[in-house]
Every structure is written in C-alpha cells, then in structure tokens.
Amino acid sequence: MKRALLLFGLSILALAAAAQAQYTPWLYWTFLPKAQMDEIAGEASGETAWRTVATINAYNRDRSREEFTGTFFETQYVFDQLKRYGLDNAQIVTYPGGEAWRAIKGELWEIKPIRQRLASYNDMVPMLAAGSSSTQAKGDLVWVGRGTPAEILAAKVEGKVVVTEGNVSAVHSEACLRQGALGVIAISQGRPDSGPLVIPWSGVAARRRPPIPGMAAAEASDQAPAPKPKFGFNLPLREGDLLKKRLQSGEMISVEVNIESETLPYDMENIVCLIPGTEPDSGEIIFSAHLFEGIAKQGANDNISGSAAILEVARTLQTLIADGRLPRPKRSIRFIWGPEFSGIGRWVQENQAIMEKTLCNINMDMVGEWLTKCQATMCLMRTTYGNPHYINDVVENYYRYVGEGNRERIQNRSTAYPVPRRVVSPFGADEPFPYSIETHYGASDHEVFNDWGVGVPGVMMIAWPDPWYHLSGDLADKSDSTQLKRTAAIGAAAAYTVASADDGMAMRIASEIASNGTRRLGHQFMVGLEELNSAKPDSLAESFKSARGFVEAALLNERETLASLSELATDRPKVDAHIARMKKTVDAVGAAHLAALQAHLETVAAKLGTQPVVPVLSDLEKRAAKIVPRPTPKVRVNGYRGYTKLIDQVPKEERAKFPSSQFGAGDFRGNTAELHCLINGAHSILDIKKMLDAQSERKTDLQQIINYIQVLRLAGLVEIKEAK
Ligand SMILES: [Zn+2]
C-alpha cells in the first residue's frame, strides 16, 4: 500500500515538474476571451496615466494655504478627471486629520566669509526639513561628522549650526534638543544609484532620545516638557561636499537663517467612486491607492503612480462599458484614493456594510517606475494564508500574459514576431516586463483590507527597487508610460474577470489554481527538503516535523484558496463539486510530497548514520491539535483595527498569566496580524503554528500561540472549541 502510494506520488511529481516547466513561446492565455483582453490592453493609456503623474508630481510642490481650507491639489485633480470620464458618482469624503506643518519661507545664507545662498525652500521644497520652526538667527557652522552623540559632544555645538552627513532628524534631536545647537544642516547621502543631486524628504520633531549615560545636565533637562523643534536644512551631496571640505580645512563660516512656518488644521481627503454592476448585491472589487504620502512629503512613484494607474483602470473600464465594447459586469468595481492607512483606513472603518460585500482588494503602490532604469521587477505581493483568495491567481494570470508576451525568445527570434503580445505605450519604453509573483508584504493600504476586523483579501502591485524612494528625485521623469499602461491593463483585466465571472469562469479559475498550486506546493516541498538536508542527527526529528509542516500548511492554503471561489457561484452545488475535484488534485500532490519527504528522510538519516525518525507529537502539540479557536462577532463589529481596543482592555494582571511576548501590539513586523487572520473556526492551533512557520523566517513558539489566543479569549474576540 505504502509502495503503491509512493509510486502514485512520484507520477504526480512528474506532472508537477511538467507544470513548473518554462512557458513556451506558442502558448499565451488569459481568463478573459482574447477579444476582451485586446480591448482592455488597447484602451488602457499609459500616456494618460503618465500625465496624471506629471501634473501632480513633475516637481516637488509648495502646498498653498488655500489647499488647507479648500481641497488639496491632487484630490481636486483626481476628482475632476473622474467627472470628465463620466464617473458621476465620484465623491470626496473628508475626515478631520489634525494639524499639519506648512512652510512659508526657508532661507539659509552664508554671510561670512562669502555672501551666498546655501539652501532655500523656494529652490526645492524638501531642502527645509518638515517641522522646522519659524527662526531668525545668525550663527557659526560646526562640523559634526555622522552626528553621533559623542561627535556632537566633542564639537561643542551650543549656539552653533551643526553640519552633518548623518540623518537630519536624529542629529536634530541630539544636537539641538539636548546639546543646545541652533539647527542642523544635513548633507544628503542619497542612495547608491540616485546620484549626487537628491535630498531626502525628512523632518525634525520635538522629541528626544534617552539621555547619554554620564550627561547629568541632559538628564535633568529630559524631565522638562518637550521643547519646540528648531530647524533642519538638507543639501544635495555635490553642494554639501564643498561646505564639508571648507569646514574640515578649518575655515570659519557664519550663516543667517530665515524661516517662516505654521501649523494648520487639515482634513484627510478620500475620493471614492463606483462602476456599478448589474447586480449590486453580488459583491464588489475595490481598488486602492494612497494619493498622499504625507501632507508636505510627496512622491511621483510613491504613490502618484498607483493613484494614476487605478484612475486609468477606472477610465478604461468606464469607457469600454459605456461604449458597449465590454458588457456591464454583474459585480461592481469600486475605487478609493486617500491618505495612506489613516484616510483609507478611516473610510473602511466607516463603511463596514460595503466591506461585508466586498470580495477582494487590489492595491497599487509604486507601480509607475521605468523598470530598466530602476533595475526593478514588477511584483505581485500575494495575500497571506490568513486571507486565502482566488484574486492572487487571477492577477497572476495577467502578470504572466504581459510578462511572457513582451520579451523576445531565442526559440522564435527569426521565425515569428520577436515580441508576440506587445503591450507598449507609443511614447514609453519598449522593453520586457520582468515580473515576480511573491509572498505577502504589507506596509501599504491592502493591509487595511486584509485586517482581521475587515476581512477583505487584498494583494499589492508594486515595482521594486526604486533608487529615488522617499527622495526629492521621486518625480515624473522616472515614470514610464509603458509600465503604467501594463499595470492599468493588468488591474482592469483582473477586476473585470472577477466582476463578470459566471460559473464557468469560477470553475476555470479553480482549475488554474490547482495548476498554480502544484507549483506552490512544489516550492514548499523543496523548502522541506532543504530543512532535512541541513539537519544534524539530534535535530532530524524536529526538521522532519517542520518539513512536513511546510507542505501541510501550503496544502491547507491551496484548499482554502479553492474554497474561496464558492462566493462567485450561481449554481453553488455545481461549482462546489468542481472545487471538490480540484481539492482532490492538490491533496494528491500534497500526499505525494509528504511521501517523498519520507523517502528523502531515509537518505538523510543514512548519510548521518542514524535511524529515520517516526514523527511523534509532543503532549503540547497533541493538545494544540485539538483546540480550534473561532472568532466572535466582536472581531468585525468595530471594523478596521477596532478589536485592538478590546485587547488593550484586558487587565494587565490577567494578561500576565498568559505570557506571549512574540505577539501583541508591539509586534510590528511579526506574525500577530497573521495569527489573528488564521483564527477561522476551522484551523486548530497546531495548524495555525504550521501556517505561521511556513510563511515566516522566525519560528513561533506553540505555547505562546496558545497563550495569546487565551488573551484574545479574555478580550471576547475568540471562542475556543476543544475537540475530543
Ligand atoms: Zn507608498
């Protein structure tokens, strides 16, 4: 029986290997029929999207005072374009945003020995660090190198303006707020590929770092209320180096500073619009892009590009539907632009009823860069196992179509069209589309949707790296209309696929997930093999457990991804029957991988001169396998991150009974958000551990997972069902 299973497994493996083979130059496909794909790829205009980027961020703008009382420039532009495109339901939705800093003037002049201007807000907005206070002052310059506390102490900076190649905000905190300097001039170090003429978007704030041991005066002053920030200027490397050399040669230089700034109340502005489907209750797809990086801080790629691309998705679909070139889909497609996390998060929180019927989210952040100039790859960041969804494979389908279709292959270099499925903007780059389908990464607005309190699976489209990221050089000249056209076409095609999907499409997507899932399972199988390959005799048992866990976790995810398609079904039994058959396919692949891991274990054990281990669950694992936590309605009731209040309300002494330092509010880059989402009433705690470990570099502690789930139970967010 075992042997038969192994043989069966190996034959499935051979199939899996075939599925993993490289794409051939004669096979191109999309979920949408070719005629519809051609309409979308033809209509999507990279030039239109590029004009949006150039209009909003050809250069770094000085924001006018009127924008604070009226509407921000970029909000008005996007809103006006939507109206022009016939998206009449577009709305600007505002929420109070608190106060924002605004500069009126920021001049830095050398007055001795030369009279010359060193920096000006008028020349380049980020030359004046955001948060700089109104200042009229004269002072001598003093060089402090990288600006470590010791360098600053040695330089005796009190009453002087420090010049540093360190970070303006850190040096400001130390030199100005603790050691009495007047202000900071920072020489930008840029990034390796960004050149000598960029400066960072940076700020100075009224905060201090912990005192340096042995500095009694500073310690005393740390008890006083936080002082007002002073000022900071940023110089590009080329100009800054001249100043550095003069100071290092011992020259005495005096400057005069003249800054006027204010803080103004502002509103967080979101723009929302909808392309209504024919069946408003059959669900929605939502596109998101942050239109504001900050109120002062701007960026063409981060993220006017994503804003421009989803605007072009809206125009493309609206035009094609209005012209009758695409039938109106049954599901609606919604769009939201706003301040990153804060604005979009607030809108999502206020619109929980819409979220309940939203199927998935496509977030675009940094999608416009000229890929070859930035040496970048266009990435699709998939959802985690906690948000399994077919949207991953739907978007992947169109990445592959554009990626495989836009490069010349050696097989057909002289016999066929060199680039067979050209998606190129008339004034954009004519280059390949290097793409990559990757595991989850957060840090943008899809995380608002993926949040436990919202539960809308969201993917991110993003090109990376970007040498101008968060620098003054992140301007429209780094954007490429071809890249924007391809991005808009992929987004529009993916959303239209979901919005228009009938039962036949749902089943077709299920089959493709089973195919792609074979590849993903194969990857986890390989990760498991490496775990065994690196095992020592005494760690072989644990390694084998982990290796099996990787495959088992991936298999659970593939099954749940397939199950997500049920929401598209009209004839539910028919679609579910097909899904069940595709689940059997991935089950068989997973079983084959587990059998192969067993075989590999035997070879590793022989090499290590030990016996193959029989996996045995520890008592804790046995217990964890029986506990199935289920979320309560309180998780969703307060929408985006609303549940955090309930966690905070758990009394400290209660919480202390369940130590779980790996999880909780302080775990910014860790697994807590994913742990939340994996609690679904079906996963046991042992499943949850496997699914966390399969996705993370860091192994989680099973007892801590159990403890943290107890904390969630105390918060009223989770019920625990213990199986027999
Ligand atoms: Zn961004």
**Cα 47 to ligand 1 centre (Å):** 22
**Cα 310 to ligand 1 centre (Å):** 14
**Cα 336 to ligand 1 centre (Å):** 14
**Cα 282 to ligand 1 centre (Å):** 31
Contact predicate 248/191, CB 8 Å: no
**Cα 30 to ligand 1 centre (Å):** 29
Q: Which residues contact 279 (CB under 8 A, 6 or more apart)?
A: 330, 331
**Cα 366 to ligand 1 centre (Å):** 6
Helix, strand, or coil (residue 315): helix
- pLDDT for 192 equals 74
Does residue 526 carry a pLDDT above 50?
yes
Does residue 221 carry a pLDDT above 90?
no
Whether the upstream peptide bond of residue 557 has omega within 30° of 0, thus cis, is no
Q: pLDDT tens digits, residue range 376-403?
A: 999 999 999 999 999 999 999 999 999 9
- pLDDT for 698 equals 87
The percent of residues above 70 in pLDDT, for the chain, comes to: 93
- pLDDT for 19 equals 39
Q: Which of 123-127, 237-241, 720-724 has the lowest mean pLDDT?
A: 720-724
**Cα 305 to ligand 1 centre (Å):** 10
**Cα 232 to ligand 1 centre (Å):** 24
- pLDDT for 215 equals 44
The closest of 25, 22, 9 to 413, measured between CA atoms, is: 25
Residues 629-656, mean pLDDT to the nearest whole number: 95
Q: What is the CA radius of gyration of the chain?
A: 28
> How far is it, in rounded angstroms, from Cα 98 to Cα 288?
23
**Cα 479 to ligand 1 centre (Å):** 15
- pLDDT for 15 equals 42
**Cα 79 to ligand 1 centre (Å):** 20
Q: pLDDT tens digits, residue range 125-175?
A: 999 999 999 999 999 999 999 999 999 999 999 999 999 999 999 999 999
Secondary structure letter of residue 658 according to DSSP: S
Helix, strand, or coil (residue 15): helix
**Cα 441 to ligand 1 centre (Å):** 12
Q: Which of 208-222, 339-353, 639-653 has the lowest mean pLDDT?
A: 208-222
Q: pLDDT tens digits, residue range 587-602?
A: 999 999 999 999 999 9
**Cα 367 to ligand 1 centre (Å):** 10
Helix, strand, or coil (residue 103): strand
Does residue 21 carry a pLDDT above 60?
no
**Cα 489 to ligand 1 centre (Å):** 21
- pLDDT for 39 equals 98
Does residue 219 carry a pLDDT above 50?
no
If 0-12 CB within 10 Å is exposed, 13-18 middle and 19+ buried, where does residue 723 land?
exposed
For 156-189, give the DSSP string: T-TTSEEEESS-HHHHIIIIITTT--SEEEEE--
Residues 99-105, mean pLDDT to the nearest whole number: 95
Contact predicate 67/527, CB 8 Å: no
**Cα 556 to ligand 1 centre (Å):** 32
**Cα 365 to ligand 1 centre (Å):** 5
**Cα 595 to ligand 1 centre (Å):** 44
**Cα 609 to ligand 1 centre (Å):** 52
> How far is it, in rounded angstroms, from Cα 526 to Cα 59?
47
Q: Which residues contact 661 (CB under 8 A, 6 or more apart)?
A: 704
Does residue 7 carry a pLDDT above 70?
no
Does residue 213 carry a pLDDT above 60?
no
- pLDDT for 724 equals 55
**Cα 584 to ligand 1 centre (Å):** 40
- Local confidence band at 18 (pLDDT 50, 70, 90 cut-offs): very low
Q: pLDDT tens digits, residue range 250-291?
A: 999 999 999 999 999 999 999 999 999 999 999 999 999 999
- pLDDT for 593 equals 98
Secondary structure letter of residue 28 according to DSSP: -
- pTM, two decimals, is 0.93
Does residue 218 carry a pLDDT above 60?
no
**Cα 304 to ligand 1 centre (Å):** 9
**Cα 445 to ligand 1 centre (Å):** 8
Give me the residues near ligand 1 (ion), CB cutoff below 5 Å. 302-303, 365
How far from chain centre, in Å, is Cα 225? 36
**Cα 212 to ligand 1 centre (Å):** 35
> How far is it, in rounded angstroms, from Cα 472 to Cα 188?
11
**Cα 363 to ligand 1 centre (Å):** 10
- The amino acid at residue 637 is V
> How far is it, in rounded angstroms, from Cα 705 to Cα 689?
8
Does residue 664 carry a pLDDT above 90?
no
**Cα 205 to ligand 1 centre (Å):** 22
**Cα 285 to ligand 1 centre (Å):** 21
